[in-house]
A and B are shown apart, each in its own frame.
Chain A
Amino acid sequence: MKLIFEKGNTNRGCDLIPECDVPVVTLSQKFHRKIELNLPELSETEISRHYTELANHTFGVNNGFYPLGSCTMKYNPKVNEELAKLPGFTDVHPLQPEHTVQGSLFVLQQAEKYLCEITGMDHMNFQPAAGAHGELTGLKLIWAYHHDRNDSKRDKIIVPDSAHGTNPASAALAGFTVINVPSTDDGLVDVEALRGVVGEDTAGFMLTNPNTVGLFEKDILEITSIIHQAGGLNYYDGANLNAIMGVARPGDMGFDVIHLNLHKTFSTPHGGGGPGSGPVGCKEILSRYLPSQGIIEEDGILGFAHKDEKSIGRVKSFYGNFLVVVKALAYIMTLGAEGLKDASCNAVLNANYMMHRLGDVFDIPFGNGPCMHEFVISLNKLKKEKAVSALDFAKALLDHDMHPPTMYFPLIVYEALMVEPTETETKETLDEAIRIYKEVYAYACKAPETMGDYPLTTPIGRPDEVKAARNPILRFDFSSK
C-alpha cells in the first residue's frame, strides 16, 4: 500500500480547526523554516480510507488466535478502555495540585496495594514504561543496595541459559557482568551448577518462574536461598506471572525485586506501541532506592511522598504510563481475587490441553509432565529430515487467520515454537488451532519443497529479513516524490 505522503494532492485539506479568535503573532524571520514543511494534504475520505487500510493490514487479538509465547496476548476487555477514557483521568495535567487529582492518586495507591498483594512485594513503582525498562530499574535497585552497604565488589548477575534475552541485556546495561548458568535435561535451573558460580561477587540472580520452557522451577526455594546465602538478591522477571496469579507469589518464593508487564498479565494492549507499563516491585529492604516513594495519605488527602535521598532517581517523566495503570486496575477489580486465580488456572489448562492434543504429532521436549501457561515445540526433526524450518512452519500458519507462536525461543530448544494460548480462548479456537497445526505439519512432510512459498494470502509474503535488519528504511525520502 502507499504511504500517506504518497497520497493526496496539493492544497487539498480538511482542517477542522476553528477560526482563530486571538491576535496572530508573527515570529521574527530568524525563527522561520528554511524548507517548506512536507505535510500530507488529503481529503477526509482519503484519510479515513488510509487508516482503515492500515487497520485491515494489522493483526491483533481482536482478529484471531494469537498464541505468542512469553507475551501473554490475552483479550483486552473493552471496559478497561472506557474507564481509562474518563475525563477525570484524561483531562488532568501531571503538575496539577495534588488535592485536585485525588482520583488519579487513588488509582495509583490502589493499584500498588493490589499488585503488592498479588506478588508478595511491599512496594510497587509505576515509572518504568515496559518490561525491559522495569528490569533495568530493578537491577539499579540491586546495584544501589550493594553500594549503599559498601559491598561494591558484587558486580555479577547470574541468569539461566533459558532466560529471556532482555535479562542479560538489562544486567549488562545496568553495569553488571553476566554469568550464565545451564539448565538441566529437565529444563530447570541446574541447582548444583548455580551453587558453583555464586560467591562474594554475586550481586543477584534473575529468573522467570514458570521458566521459558513453561515449567515451574520446583527447586525455587532452594535456588533463592542459595543466592541469599551468598549475599545476593533475587530478581523475578514477571513476564510469566500469568501462570501463577492468585496461586503463588514471587515474594513468597524468595524474590526481593520484580517487574510486572501490565500489558501482558493485566490485559492492557500489547504491541503496536501499547503503550506498555513495567512496574517494578520490591521488598522493604529496597524501598528507599525506588525511583519515587509512592502515595501517602495525610488527613484523608492523598499526595506524593518526598523522594528519599537514597533513591536511584527518576527513570521516566512524571508517573509512568498512568492510563495503562488505570486499565490494569480496572482488570484487577473486575476479576477480583477469585477471578484472577481462575484466569491463571484457565491459562494453564488451555496450554496443557493444546500440548497434550499436539503431542502425538509434534516433538515437545519438556512435555512429559504438565506445563504451566505455555509450552515449547521443537521442529528439529522436520528441519533435519525435510529441511522445513520453524520459520517456514510459522509463515505457513499466517494463511490460516492466526498469529504464529514465538519462534526460535528459548535458545536451548532447536527450531523452537513457543505456544501460549492464554485463558481467553475457547475450546473451539484451541481445537481449530490444533487441527491447523497438524494439517500444516502433514503438508510440510508431504510437500516440503513448497514450504518456502508461504504465506500466500497476506499483503506481504516473505520480506527480506536480512536486508530489513541491515538496511532498514525508516523515513520517507521526499526527494523521491
Chain B
Amino acid sequence: MSDKILFMKSHEWVQFLDDTTARIGISDYAQSELGDLVFINLPEVGDEVIVGESFADVESVKAVSNVYSPVTGTVKAVNEDLLDQPELVNSEAMETWFIEVENISDKADLLSELEYKKLISES
C-alpha cells in the first residue's frame, strides 16, 4: 500500500497522483463489511464530485450504500471494469479504484493509514 493513500471516516480511500489529481476507492474493511458486491453505480467522465457528497453507490447482498467523495473536482476517468466485475472490489479493494478525479479544489479532513486502522479497530 502506498504511503500516499489517505482515508475518510466513511471508509473511502484516496490516492493523490499529484496535487490536483487523485484516485478514489473503498477500503478493504468497507468491502468486508458490505459483503459480496453485486452492482456498482459510477458517475460519468466530466461529472463534478463534491467533497463529502455521494458520487457512487455499491450494492451488496446485504444493502445499497453510498460512496462519498473525499475531494471536490471533475471525474477524469471511471474504472469501467467494475460495471461487469464488481467482485474486483471484494478481492483487491485497495488496488481497485472507482474513479480518477482532476482539477481538485477541495478535500476532506483525511486520516492516515495508521489513524484509519485505529478507527476501525475501535468500531
A contact set with B: CB distance below 8 Å: 165, 391, 407-409, 411, 414, 465-466, 469-470
Contacts and interface: CB of A to CB of B under 8 A. Distances in A.
B108 interface: no
A408 B62 contact: yes
A470 B38 contact: yes
Interface in B16-68: 33, 35-39, 59, 61-65
Contacts of B65: 411
Contact of B61 (A165, A411, A465): A465
A391 B60 CA distance: 13
A466 B62 contact: no
Contacts of A391: 35
Nearest to A180: B66
B62 A469 contact: no
A407 B35 CA distance: 13
Contact of B36 (A409, A411, A466): A466
B102 interface: no
A165 B38 contact: no
B100 interface: no
Contacts of A414: 33, 123
A163 to B, nearest CB: 13
A414 B33 CA distance: 9
B32 to A, nearest CB: 10
A165 B63 contact: yes
Contact of A469 (B33, B38, B123): B38
Contacts, number: 24
Contact of A466 (B33, B38, B63, B64): B38
Nearest to B33: A414
Chain B at the A interface: SS class: mixed
Chain A at the B interface: SS class: mixed
A408 B63 contact: yes
Given A466-B38, A466-B87, A407 B63 contact: no
Given A408-B62, A469-B59, 20 more contacts: A165-B63, A165-B64, A391-B35, A407-B62, A408-B63, A409-B63, A411-B63, A411-B65, A414-B33, A414-B123, A465-B36, A466-B36, A466-B38, A466-B61, A466-B87, A469-B38, A469-B39, A469-B61, A470-B38, A470-B39
Interface in B91-123: 123
Contacts of A411: 63, 65
Contacts of B62: 407-408
Contacts of A466: 36-38, 61, 87
A238 to B, nearest CB: 22
A165 B66 CA distance: 13
Contacts of B87: 466
14 contacts: A165-B63, A391-B35, A408-B63, A409-B63, A414-B33, A414-B123, A465-B36, A465-B61, A466-B36, A466-B61, A466-B87, A469-B59, A469-B61, A470-B38
A465 B123 CA distance: 27
A388 to B, nearest CB: 14
Nearest to A409: B63
Nearest to A467: B38
A470 B39 CA distance: 8
A409 B59 CA distance: 14
A407 B59 CA distance: 16
Nearest to A411: B63
A409 B62 CA distance: 9
Contacts of A465: 36, 61
A465 B87 CA distance: 13
A65 to B, nearest CB: 23
B90 to A, nearest CB: 9
A327 to B, nearest CB: 32
B76 to A, nearest CB: 26
B78 to A, nearest CB: 19
Contacts of A407: 62
Contacts of B59: 469
A131 B123 CA distance: 34
Nearest to B59: A469
A469 B36 CA distance: 10
A469 B64 CA distance: 13
Contacts of A408: 62-63
A215 B21 CA distance: 46
Contacts of B61: 465-466, 469
Nearest to B62: A408
Contacts of A470: 38-39
B39 to A, nearest CB: 7
Nearest to B90: A466
A99 B38 CA distance: 54
B23 to A, nearest CB: 25
Nearest to B86: A470
A469 B35 CA distance: 13
A408 B65 CA distance: 12
A165 B62 CA distance: 12
A465 B65 CA distance: 18
Contacts of A469: 38-39, 59, 61
A469 B123 CA distance: 29
Nearest to A471: B38
Contacts of A165: 63-64
A470 B38 CA distance: 6
A377 B33 CA distance: 17
